[in-house]
Structure 1
Amino acid sequence: MIKTPQTLTDVNIFIDGIGHLGTSKKITLPKIEQLRETITAGGFERSVDLGIFKELDSEFTLSEYSPIVLAAMAAGQATGLGVNITVKGSFFQDGKRTSILATLQGSIDLDDGDMEAKKEVERKVSMKPWLYAMEIDGKQGLMLDTKNMIAIIDGVDYLSDLRAHIQ
């Protein structure tokens, strides 16, 4: 059976405890990358995983100057708990809709960039999340919690042995 490509139909961004953050055309969710080292053995160079995940980064561009961004930034600074962001989206493929839910918690930075007359507003928000979780169609796909050393990917916690060794 030939499948058509998935299309992101719509996406909304919310800040927990405050409400709808605003409209966005583009969201960059964190890359899940492992730290690797190149070794030489047997006449070959090759990369080996070190069992360490790289720092998480996320960014999204808002199409409006919502004061909610500043309120969330202030609240996160005041409590030291950061900002909780929820991204809700819907994919469409072969007549079926599939939900996607991403949860991020961390500190945010704001880039209001250039303002140009007759141009759509672009307000960039970048985030260094210490927690990142994703559900697809209601099923947890991953959960990375950098404060508690948890890295669950497709139901497997890749850092459980590390926690057992050092705690």
Structure 2
Amino acid sequence: MRDLLKFMNTFVDGYGFAGVASAVEVPKIEVATRDFTAAGMAGPIEVRMARLANALMAKLTFEGFDPHLYETLDITEGSLIPFTCKGSTEDGDGTTHAHNVAMRGFTKVLDEGEWKDGESVPLKLDMSLRYYRRERDGVELFEIDQENMIFRVKGKDLLAEHRANIGR
């Protein structure tokens, strides 16, 4: 057994929601490709286009009506909310690992779902992200900043030369 998630906490604008946040769906990273074929090839191949195929999205679920969470949420233009999810995993040998996901974006969908007497009412947020950073034990795995044309994988900036080539 490796890296089983044992505990997690979610922070919205720096405020912790332990016991309130119940689930986080981190962004899917899908690299844009296009089909390429040329003379002498038996068929097309996919070629990476050095960018993402889709906007980065995250989904967060909170339980109950936490007033601080509602005060933090803002759906006005230009309002970007920082979210941080921290997890602790444990290997089969007992070694623990710190996981950190930092995101910044805006609320695209705010869904309070179905209210039922005597039951928890989950608040589900769909976030459109402008920034995403994923770390394990303090080591950067991914950093993606779409607006600033930054796409780093394990510390290597895949777009640095492209930025330089176009004067950015």
Alignment of 1:80-99 (within 5 A): 80-94=78-92, 95-99=94-98
Task: Quote the offset at 1:116 in angstroms.
Answer: 2.4
Amino acid aligned to 1:77 = T
Q: Which residue of 2 aligns with 1:35?
A: 32
Q: Name the structure where helix makes up a greater proportion of residues.
A: 1
Query: How far off its partner does 1:67 sit?
Result: 2.1
Q: Number of aligned pairs?
A: 161
Deviation at 1:81, TM superposition (A): 4.2
Shift, 1:122, TM fit: 1.8
- Provide the secondary structure at the position in 2 that maps to 1:44: coil
Q: How many Å separate the matches in 2 of 1:10 and 1:47?
A: 39
* Unaligned ranges ≥5, structure 2: none
| TM-score (norm: length of structure 1) | 0.87
Contact 2:113 2:121 in 1 (8 A): no
Q: Equivalent residue of 2:116, what SS?
A: coil
Runs of at least 4 residues of structure 1 off by over 3 A? 117-120
Task: Compute the TM-score of the two structures, normalised by the length of structure 2.
Answer: 0.86
Distance in 2 (CA, whole Å) between partners of 1:31 and 1:165 is 28
Unaligned runs of 5+ in 1: none
Does residue 51 (structure 1) correspond to residue 50 (structure 2)? The answer is yes
Please provide the CA RMSD for this pair.
1.9
Deviations 1:138-158 (A, max 9, x none): 112111111211111101101
Amino acid at match of 1:107: F
Letter in 1 for 2:26: L
Q: Once the two structures are aligned, what percentage of the paired residues are identical?
A: 26
Aligned AA (1:50): M
Please give the secondary structure, in 2, of the residue aligned with 1:60. strand
Q: Deviations over 1:65-95 (max 9, x none)?
A: 2222322223x738x2410111111001121
What are the equivalent positions in structure 2 for 1:1-167 lying under 5 Å apart? 4-17=1-14, 19-21=15-17, 23-41=20-38, 42-53=41-52, 54-74=54-74, 77=76, 80-94=78-92, 95-108=94-107, 109-166=109-166, 167=168
Q: CA deviation at 1:48?
A: 1.3
TM superposition shift of 1:35:
0.8
